[in-house]
Protein backbone atom coordinates (compact mmCIF):
# COMPACT_ATOMS: atom_id res chain seq x y z
CA UNK A 1 0.00 0.00 0.00
CA UNK A 2 2.80 2.34 0.88
CA UNK A 3 4.56 1.51 -2.38
CA UNK A 4 1.48 2.46 -4.46
CA UNK A 5 1.09 5.73 -2.57
CA UNK A 6 4.74 6.58 -3.11
CA UNK A 7 4.44 5.77 -6.81
CA UNK A 8 1.44 8.05 -7.22
CA UNK A 9 3.36 10.90 -5.59
CA UNK A 10 6.05 10.56 -8.24
CA UNK A 11 3.91 9.87 -11.31
CA UNK A 12 1.31 12.61 -10.78
CA UNK A 13 3.77 15.52 -10.86
CA UNK A 14 5.38 14.04 -13.96
CA UNK A 15 2.05 13.71 -15.76
CA UNK A 16 0.92 17.14 -14.65
CA UNK A 17 4.19 18.50 -15.99
CA UNK A 18 2.79 18.07 -19.50
CA UNK A 19 0.36 20.86 -18.64
CA UNK A 20 2.42 23.02 -16.30
CA UNK A 21 5.76 22.70 -18.07
CA UNK A 22 7.38 26.08 -18.78
CA UNK A 23 7.66 27.41 -22.34
CA UNK A 24 5.28 28.20 -25.16
CA UNK A 25 2.87 25.60 -26.47
CA UNK A 26 -0.34 25.51 -28.48
CA UNK A 27 -3.55 24.09 -27.06
CA UNK A 28 -4.96 22.11 -29.99
CA UNK A 29 -8.09 20.90 -28.22
CA UNK A 30 -10.25 23.36 -30.16
CA UNK A 31 -8.60 22.80 -33.53
CA UNK A 32 -10.13 20.27 -35.87
CA UNK A 33 -7.93 18.92 -38.62
CA UNK A 34 -9.72 18.25 -41.89
CA UNK A 35 -8.94 14.94 -43.55
CA UNK A 36 -10.14 14.57 -47.11
CA UNK A 37 -9.37 10.89 -47.35
CA UNK A 38 -7.90 11.44 -50.80
CA UNK A 39 -4.47 10.09 -51.65
CA UNK A 40 -1.59 12.53 -51.43
CA UNK A 41 -0.29 14.21 -54.56
CA UNK A 42 2.43 12.39 -56.47
CA UNK A 43 5.06 14.60 -58.10
CA UNK A 44 7.18 13.61 -61.07
CA UNK A 45 10.89 13.87 -60.32
CA UNK A 46 13.37 14.67 -63.09
CA UNK A 47 16.91 13.41 -62.76
CA UNK A 48 19.57 16.04 -63.29
CA UNK A 49 21.76 14.64 -66.05
CA UNK A 50 23.58 15.87 -69.15
CA UNK A 51 20.41 15.73 -71.26
CA UNK A 52 18.49 17.89 -68.79
CA UNK A 53 21.36 20.39 -68.62
CA UNK A 54 21.28 20.70 -72.42
CA UNK A 55 17.51 21.18 -72.44
CA UNK A 56 17.71 23.85 -69.74
CA UNK A 57 20.43 25.70 -71.66
CA UNK A 58 18.27 25.63 -74.81
CA UNK A 59 15.29 26.96 -72.87
CA UNK A 60 17.41 29.85 -71.57
CA UNK A 61 18.54 30.71 -75.10
CA UNK A 62 14.93 30.70 -76.30
CA UNK A 63 13.97 32.99 -73.42
CA UNK A 64 16.80 35.37 -74.30
CA UNK A 65 15.72 35.51 -77.95
CA UNK A 66 12.14 36.19 -76.87
CA UNK A 67 13.43 38.96 -74.61
CA UNK A 68 15.35 40.53 -77.49
CA UNK A 69 12.33 40.37 -79.76
CA UNK A 70 10.16 41.97 -77.09
CA UNK A 71 12.68 44.77 -76.59
CA UNK A 72 12.81 45.51 -80.32
CA UNK A 73 9.07 46.12 -80.26
CA UNK A 74 9.70 49.16 -78.09
CA UNK A 75 10.52 52.40 -79.82
CA UNK A 76 14.15 53.15 -80.65
CA UNK A 77 15.86 56.53 -80.69
CA UNK A 78 16.37 56.68 -84.46
CA UNK A 79 14.57 59.64 -85.97
CA UNK A 80 13.41 60.95 -82.61
CA UNK A 81 11.88 64.46 -82.70
CA UNK A 82 10.33 66.25 -79.75
CA UNK A 83 6.70 67.32 -80.12
CA UNK A 84 5.46 70.29 -78.14
CA UNK A 85 2.59 69.79 -75.70
CA UNK A 86 0.57 71.97 -73.28
CA UNK A 87 2.57 73.62 -70.45
CA UNK A 88 5.78 73.73 -72.49
CA UNK A 89 7.36 77.19 -72.64
CA UNK A 90 8.45 78.42 -76.06
CA UNK A 91 10.87 81.16 -76.95
CA UNK A 92 10.08 82.87 -80.27
CA UNK A 93 12.50 85.20 -82.08
CA UNK A 94 11.54 87.35 -85.08
CA UNK A 95 14.72 88.90 -86.39
CA UNK A 96 14.73 92.71 -86.72
CA UNK A 97 11.39 92.81 -84.92
CA UNK A 98 12.04 92.95 -81.16
CA UNK A 99 8.39 93.79 -80.52
CA UNK A 100 7.47 90.31 -81.72
CA UNK A 101 10.34 88.52 -79.98
CA UNK A 102 10.19 86.80 -76.61
CA UNK A 103 11.68 89.30 -74.12
CA UNK A 104 15.18 88.31 -72.98
CA UNK A 105 14.51 89.06 -69.34
CA UNK A 106 16.94 88.52 -66.48
CA UNK A 107 15.13 85.36 -65.52
CA UNK A 108 12.04 83.29 -66.17
CA UNK A 109 10.06 80.63 -64.43
CA UNK A 110 11.01 77.02 -65.04
CA UNK A 111 7.56 75.92 -63.97
CA UNK A 112 8.44 75.12 -60.39
CA UNK A 113 8.82 77.26 -57.28
CA UNK A 114 12.14 78.88 -58.23
CA UNK A 115 13.33 81.34 -60.85
CA UNK A 116 16.59 80.87 -62.68
CA UNK A 117 18.40 82.62 -65.51
CA UNK A 118 17.98 81.62 -69.12
CA UNK A 119 21.57 80.36 -69.29
CA UNK A 120 21.12 78.19 -66.21
CA UNK A 121 17.95 76.64 -67.59
CA UNK A 122 19.52 75.84 -70.96
CA UNK A 123 22.32 74.07 -69.08
CA UNK A 124 19.69 71.84 -67.43
CA UNK A 125 17.31 70.87 -70.24
CA UNK A 126 16.18 67.77 -68.34
CA UNK A 127 14.64 69.64 -65.43
CA UNK A 128 11.71 67.80 -63.89
CA UNK A 129 9.87 71.00 -62.96
CA UNK A 130 6.15 70.50 -62.63
CA UNK A 131 3.60 72.77 -64.32
CA UNK A 132 2.74 75.60 -62.01
CA UNK A 133 2.77 79.33 -62.77
CA UNK A 134 2.52 81.45 -65.90
CA UNK A 135 5.73 82.71 -67.48
CA UNK A 136 6.11 86.38 -68.48
CA UNK A 137 9.29 85.69 -70.48
CA UNK A 138 8.05 82.93 -72.76
CA UNK A 139 5.03 81.62 -74.59
CA UNK A 140 3.40 78.98 -72.39
CA UNK A 141 1.41 76.50 -74.44
CA UNK A 142 -2.15 76.67 -73.15
CA UNK A 143 -4.26 73.69 -72.14
CA UNK A 144 -5.96 73.76 -75.55
CA UNK A 145 -2.54 73.52 -77.23
CA UNK A 146 -2.35 77.10 -78.51
CA UNK A 147 -0.10 80.16 -78.15
CA UNK A 148 -0.76 83.80 -78.97
CA UNK A 149 1.42 85.63 -81.53
CA UNK A 150 1.00 89.39 -81.96
CA UNK A 151 -0.54 90.07 -85.39
CA UNK A 152 -0.53 86.35 -86.02
CA UNK A 153 -3.30 85.54 -83.59
CA UNK A 154 -3.77 82.29 -81.68
CA UNK A 155 -1.96 79.32 -83.23
CA UNK A 156 -2.39 75.65 -82.41
CA UNK A 157 1.08 74.20 -81.77
CA UNK A 158 0.50 71.12 -79.60
CA UNK A 159 1.76 67.93 -81.24
CA UNK A 160 4.09 69.80 -83.60
CA UNK A 161 7.85 70.04 -83.77
CA UNK A 162 9.73 73.31 -83.35
CA UNK A 163 10.44 73.32 -87.09
CA UNK A 164 6.74 73.04 -87.88
CA UNK A 165 5.91 75.77 -85.35
CA UNK A 166 8.58 78.02 -86.85
CA UNK A 167 7.04 77.69 -90.31
CA UNK A 168 3.57 78.20 -88.84
CA UNK A 169 4.58 81.42 -87.05
CA UNK A 170 6.35 82.73 -90.14
CA UNK A 171 3.29 82.07 -92.29
CA UNK A 172 1.06 83.93 -89.82
CA UNK A 173 3.27 87.06 -90.03
CA UNK A 174 3.65 87.23 -93.79
CA UNK A 175 0.86 89.80 -94.10
CA UNK A 176 2.54 92.16 -91.65
CA UNK A 177 6.28 91.40 -91.90
CA UNK A 178 8.15 91.14 -95.18
CA UNK A 179 10.02 87.85 -95.41
CA UNK A 180 9.88 87.11 -91.63
CA UNK A 181 12.92 85.31 -90.21
CA UNK A 182 11.62 83.26 -87.28
CA UNK A 183 13.34 80.99 -84.77
CA UNK A 184 11.48 78.83 -82.22
CA UNK A 185 13.01 76.97 -79.32
CA UNK A 186 11.70 75.24 -76.19
CA UNK A 187 12.76 77.16 -73.09
CA UNK A 188 11.35 74.70 -70.56
CA UNK A 189 10.18 71.11 -71.00
CA UNK A 190 7.26 70.78 -68.60
CA UNK A 191 4.57 68.81 -70.42
CA UNK A 192 5.93 65.27 -70.69
CA UNK A 193 7.67 63.17 -68.10
CA UNK A 194 8.46 59.64 -66.99
CA UNK A 195 8.38 58.29 -63.44
CA UNK A 196 11.32 56.39 -61.95
CA UNK A 197 10.54 54.40 -58.81
CA UNK A 198 12.00 51.60 -56.76
CA UNK A 199 15.62 50.99 -55.81
CA UNK A 200 17.15 54.21 -57.13
CA UNK A 201 18.76 56.86 -54.98
CA UNK A 202 16.53 59.73 -56.16
CA UNK A 203 13.16 58.41 -57.35
CA UNK A 204 10.82 60.86 -59.00
CA UNK A 205 9.74 62.37 -62.33
CA UNK A 206 12.12 63.09 -65.21
CA UNK A 207 11.24 65.47 -68.02
CA UNK A 208 11.19 64.35 -71.66
CA UNK A 209 13.21 66.77 -73.79
CA UNK A 210 14.55 67.10 -77.34
CA UNK A 211 17.32 64.62 -76.44
CA UNK A 212 16.11 60.98 -76.40
CA UNK A 213 15.75 59.64 -72.86
CA UNK A 214 16.76 55.99 -72.58
CA UNK A 215 16.42 53.53 -69.72
CA UNK A 216 20.04 53.86 -68.62
CA UNK A 217 19.80 57.67 -68.83
CA UNK A 218 16.74 57.60 -66.55
CA UNK A 219 18.45 55.39 -63.96
CA UNK A 220 21.62 57.51 -64.07
CA UNK A 221 19.76 60.80 -63.69
CA UNK A 222 17.92 59.30 -60.73
CA UNK A 223 21.21 58.99 -58.86
CA UNK A 224 21.95 55.41 -59.83
CA UNK A 225 20.72 52.26 -58.12
CA UNK A 226 20.95 51.17 -54.50
CA UNK A 227 22.77 48.07 -53.25
CA UNK A 228 19.52 46.09 -53.20
CA UNK A 229 18.54 46.82 -56.82
CA UNK A 230 17.81 43.91 -59.14
CA UNK A 231 18.84 45.14 -62.59
CA UNK A 232 17.87 41.86 -64.18
CA UNK A 233 14.14 42.52 -63.77
CA UNK A 234 13.63 46.25 -64.37
CA UNK A 235 9.94 46.85 -65.08
CA UNK A 236 8.63 49.24 -67.70
CA UNK A 237 4.93 50.08 -67.72
CA UNK A 238 3.80 51.67 -70.99
CA UNK A 239 0.18 52.16 -71.97
CA UNK A 240 -0.99 49.59 -69.42
CA UNK A 241 1.49 47.00 -70.75
CA UNK A 242 4.24 45.57 -68.56
CA UNK A 243 7.69 44.88 -70.00
CA UNK A 244 10.58 43.31 -68.06
CA UNK A 245 14.04 44.44 -69.16
CA UNK A 246 17.42 42.97 -68.25
CA UNK A 247 19.83 45.84 -67.76
CA UNK A 248 22.57 43.40 -66.71
CA UNK A 249 22.62 41.97 -70.23
CA UNK A 250 23.38 45.40 -71.58
CA UNK A 251 26.08 46.15 -69.00
CA UNK A 252 27.74 42.72 -69.16
CA UNK A 253 27.25 41.76 -72.81
CA UNK A 254 26.64 45.05 -74.58
CA UNK A 255 23.09 44.09 -75.55
CA UNK A 256 21.75 47.55 -76.41
CA UNK A 257 18.26 46.21 -77.17
CA UNK A 258 17.56 46.51 -73.44
CA UNK A 259 18.34 50.24 -73.39
CA UNK A 260 14.99 51.27 -74.84
CA UNK A 261 13.95 54.84 -75.47
CA UNK A 262 11.35 56.07 -73.02
CA UNK A 263 8.12 57.83 -73.88
CA UNK A 264 5.92 60.27 -72.04
CA UNK A 265 3.87 58.50 -69.38
CA UNK A 266 6.29 55.60 -68.96
CA UNK A 267 6.83 54.26 -65.43
CA UNK A 268 10.17 52.65 -64.60
CA UNK A 269 10.44 50.46 -61.50
CA UNK A 270 13.76 49.06 -60.33
CA UNK A 271 12.79 46.23 -57.94
CA UNK A 272 14.75 44.86 -55.03
CA UNK A 273 16.14 41.34 -54.88
CA UNK A 274 13.44 39.84 -52.65
CA UNK A 275 12.09 37.73 -55.53
CA UNK A 276 15.59 36.84 -56.74
CA UNK A 277 16.41 34.47 -53.91
CA UNK A 278 17.07 30.75 -53.59
CA UNK A 279 16.31 28.84 -50.38
CA UNK A 280 18.67 26.13 -49.11
CA UNK A 281 17.10 23.81 -46.55
CA UNK A 282 17.59 20.41 -45.01
CA UNK A 283 20.84 18.86 -43.83
CA UNK A 284 23.22 21.72 -44.54
CA UNK A 285 25.38 23.57 -42.07
CA UNK A 286 23.62 26.92 -42.53
CA UNK A 287 20.09 26.75 -43.96
CA UNK A 288 19.61 30.19 -45.48
CA UNK A 289 18.09 32.19 -48.33
CA UNK A 290 20.69 33.19 -50.91
CA UNK A 291 20.51 36.14 -53.30
CA UNK A 292 21.20 35.42 -56.96
CA UNK A 293 24.19 37.37 -58.25
CA UNK A 294 23.23 38.85 -61.62
CA UNK A 295 20.56 36.20 -61.94
CA UNK A 296 22.96 33.27 -61.82
CA UNK A 297 23.36 30.58 -59.15
CA UNK A 298 24.06 26.86 -59.47
CA UNK A 299 23.42 23.98 -57.06
CA UNK A 300 27.13 23.88 -56.25
CA UNK A 301 27.10 27.63 -55.49
CA UNK A 302 24.05 27.28 -53.24
CA UNK A 303 25.41 24.34 -51.23
CA UNK A 304 28.82 25.97 -50.86
CA UNK A 305 27.37 29.27 -49.61
CA UNK A 306 25.22 27.30 -47.14
CA UNK A 307 28.38 25.82 -45.62
CA UNK A 308 28.10 22.47 -47.39
CA UNK A 309 26.12 19.40 -46.40
CA UNK A 310 26.46 17.86 -42.94
CA UNK A 311 28.98 15.04 -42.90
CA UNK A 312 27.10 12.59 -40.69
CA UNK A 313 23.48 13.69 -41.04
CA UNK A 314 23.01 14.40 -44.77
CA UNK A 315 22.16 11.90 -47.45
CA UNK A 316 24.14 12.99 -50.55
CA UNK A 317 21.90 10.82 -52.72
CA UNK A 318 18.92 13.05 -51.90
CA UNK A 319 19.59 16.52 -53.31
CA UNK A 320 16.30 17.96 -54.54
CA UNK A 321 15.41 21.21 -56.31
CA UNK A 322 11.77 22.32 -56.13
CA UNK A 323 10.73 24.95 -58.66
CA UNK A 324 7.63 26.93 -59.53
CA UNK A 325 5.88 26.74 -56.17
CA UNK A 326 5.08 30.47 -56.27
CA UNK A 327 3.25 30.41 -59.60
CA UNK A 328 2.16 26.74 -59.61
CA UNK A 329 1.86 25.62 -55.97
CA UNK A 330 -0.01 22.42 -56.86
CA UNK A 331 2.22 21.31 -59.74
CA UNK A 332 5.82 22.28 -58.97
CA UNK A 333 8.79 20.87 -60.85
CA UNK A 334 11.03 18.58 -58.80
CA UNK A 335 14.61 17.76 -59.80
CA UNK A 336 16.85 15.14 -58.19
CA UNK A 337 20.63 14.94 -58.03
CA UNK A 338 22.72 12.07 -56.64
CA UNK A 339 25.93 13.70 -55.43
CA UNK A 340 27.69 10.39 -54.87
CA UNK A 341 28.38 10.03 -58.59
CA UNK A 342 31.39 11.82 -60.16
CA UNK A 343 29.45 13.17 -63.13
CA UNK A 344 26.68 14.47 -60.82
CA UNK A 345 29.19 16.54 -58.90
CA UNK A 346 30.21 18.21 -62.17
CA UNK A 347 26.58 18.68 -63.18
CA UNK A 348 25.88 20.47 -59.88
CA UNK A 349 28.11 23.29 -61.12
CA UNK A 350 26.16 23.54 -64.39
CA UNK A 351 22.53 23.27 -63.30
CA UNK A 352 21.31 26.87 -63.12
CA UNK A 353 18.79 27.66 -60.41
CA UNK A 354 15.90 30.07 -60.91
CA UNK A 355 14.48 32.69 -58.54
CA UNK A 356 12.51 31.23 -55.61
CA UNK A 357 13.88 27.70 -56.12
CA UNK A 358 14.19 25.53 -53.01
CA UNK A 359 17.26 23.30 -52.65
CA UNK A 360 16.66 20.54 -50.11
CA UNK A 361 19.24 18.09 -48.79
CA UNK A 362 17.74 14.85 -47.46
CA UNK A 363 18.48 13.15 -44.14
CA UNK A 364 20.41 9.92 -43.82
CA UNK A 365 18.42 6.90 -42.59
CA UNK A 366 20.77 6.33 -39.65
CA UNK A 367 20.33 9.95 -38.59
CA UNK A 368 16.55 9.60 -38.64
CA UNK A 369 16.80 6.49 -36.45
CA UNK A 370 19.17 8.22 -34.02
CA UNK A 371 16.83 11.19 -33.70
CA UNK A 372 13.94 8.88 -32.88
CA UNK A 373 16.06 7.27 -30.16
CA UNK A 374 16.88 10.69 -28.75
CA UNK A 375 13.16 11.32 -28.33
CA UNK A 376 12.36 7.89 -26.86
CA UNK A 377 15.32 7.34 -24.53
CA UNK A 378 14.38 10.00 -21.92
CA UNK A 379 10.93 8.42 -21.54
CA UNK A 380 12.42 4.91 -21.23
CA UNK A 381 14.89 6.12 -18.65
CA UNK A 382 12.11 7.76 -16.63
CA UNK A 383 10.06 4.58 -16.64
CA UNK A 384 13.10 2.56 -15.63
CA UNK A 385 13.85 4.79 -12.66
CA UNK A 386 10.20 4.70 -11.57
CA UNK A 387 10.27 0.97 -11.59
CA UNK A 388 13.45 0.91 -9.53
CA UNK A 389 11.98 3.35 -7.00
CA UNK A 390 8.81 1.31 -6.53
CA UNK A 391 10.60 -1.92 -5.72
What is the pairing mode between strands 89-94 and 182-188? antiparallel
Q: Bigger pLDDT: 142 or 118?
A: 142
pLDDT in tens, 265-304: 999 999 988 888 899 998 899 998 998 877 788 999 999 9
pTM here?
0.67
Residue 165: the pLDDT is 92
pLDDT in tens, 24-57: 667 777 877 766 566 667 788 888 888 888 888 8
pLDDT computed for residue 270 by the predictor: 93
Which one has a higher pLDDT value, 89 or 5? 89
DSSP 8-35: HHHHHHHHHHHHH-SS-----TT-----
Beta bridge partners of 194: 206
Q: Which domains does the chain have, with CATH numbers?
A: 74-78+192-270 (3.10.560.10), 89-188 (3.30.1950.10), 275-368 (3.10.560.10)
Question: Which of 319, 320, 324, 332 lies closest to 356 in space, CA to CA?
Answer: 324
pLDDT band, residue 380 (cuts 50/70/90): low
Give SS3 for 373: helix
Q: Between these two residues, 188 and 14, which has the higher pLDDT value? A: 188
Q: Say what the pLDDT of residue 160 is.
A: 92
User: How confident is the model at residue 279, as a pLDDT?
Assistant: 93
Number of H-type helices and E-type strands within the chain: 9, 18
Each residue's pLDDT tens digit, 169-187: 999 888 888 888 888 988 8
pLDDT for position 121: 39
| Alpha helices by DSSP H, 143-289 | 162-172, 215-221, 247-253
| 127: confidence class by pLDDT, cuts 50, 70, 90 | very low
Look at 119 and 382; give whichever has higher pLDDT: 382
> Cα separation of 225 and 201, whole Å?
6
For residue 115, the tally of other CB atoms under 10 A from its CB is 16
φ and ψ of 165, to 5 deg: -65, -40
Identify the H or E element spanning 139. Answer: strand 139-140
Phi then psi for residue 125, to 5 deg, are -70, -5
Q: What pLDDT score does 36 carry?
A: 59
- Whole-number pLDDT of residue 116: 38
**Is residue 390 over pLDDT 80?**
no
* pLDDT tens sequence across 135-169: 446 788 999 999 988 888 899 999 999 999 999 99
pLDDT on residue 194: 93
Higher-pLDDT residue of 64 and 262 is 262
Percent of the chain with pLDDT over 90: 19
H or E element that contains 242: strand 241-245
Average pLDDT, the chain: 78
Say yes or no to pLDDT of 107 above 60. no
Strand 115-116 to 153-156 pairing: unpaired
Residue 198 confidence (pLDDT): 92
Helices (H), the chain: 2-20, 50-72, 118-123, 162-172, 215-221, 247-253, 299-305, 342-348, 365-389
For residue 314, the model assigns a pLDDT of 84
| Contact between 359 and 303 (Cβ < 8 Å) | yes
| Per-residue model confidence (pLDDT) at position 203 | 92
Strands of the sheet containing 45-47, edge to edge, are 45-47, 333-337, 314-323, 358-363, 277-282, 288-291
In this structure, are residues 136 and 152 in contact, taking their beta carbons and an 8 Å threshold? Answer: no
Long-range contact set of residues 93-99: C-beta below 8 Å, sequence gap at least 24: 93/182, 93/183, 93/184, 93/185, 94/169, 94/173, 94/177, 94/180, 94/181, 94/182, 95/181, 95/182, 95/183, 96/181, 97/177, 97/180, 99/150
Minimum mean pLDDT among 189-203, 242-256, 296-310: which range?
A: 242-256
pLDDT at 274: 84
pLDDT at 376: 63
Residue 109, phi then psi, degrees to nearest 5: -75, 135
- Give the tens place of pLDDT for each residue, 342-364: 888 888 888 999 888 999 998 87
Is a pLDDT exceeding 70 seen at residue 239? yes
Amino acid sequence: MLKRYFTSLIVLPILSGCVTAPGNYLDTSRLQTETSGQPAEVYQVKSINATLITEEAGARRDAERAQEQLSRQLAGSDGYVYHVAPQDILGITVWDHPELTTPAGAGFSSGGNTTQTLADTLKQPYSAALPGQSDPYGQTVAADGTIFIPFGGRLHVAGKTVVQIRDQVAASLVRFVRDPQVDVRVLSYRSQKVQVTGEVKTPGPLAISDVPLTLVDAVTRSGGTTAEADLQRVRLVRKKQLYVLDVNRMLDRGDMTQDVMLQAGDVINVPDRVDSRVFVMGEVKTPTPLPMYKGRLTIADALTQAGGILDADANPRQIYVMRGMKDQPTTPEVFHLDMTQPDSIMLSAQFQLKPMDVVYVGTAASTTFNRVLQQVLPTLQTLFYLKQLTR
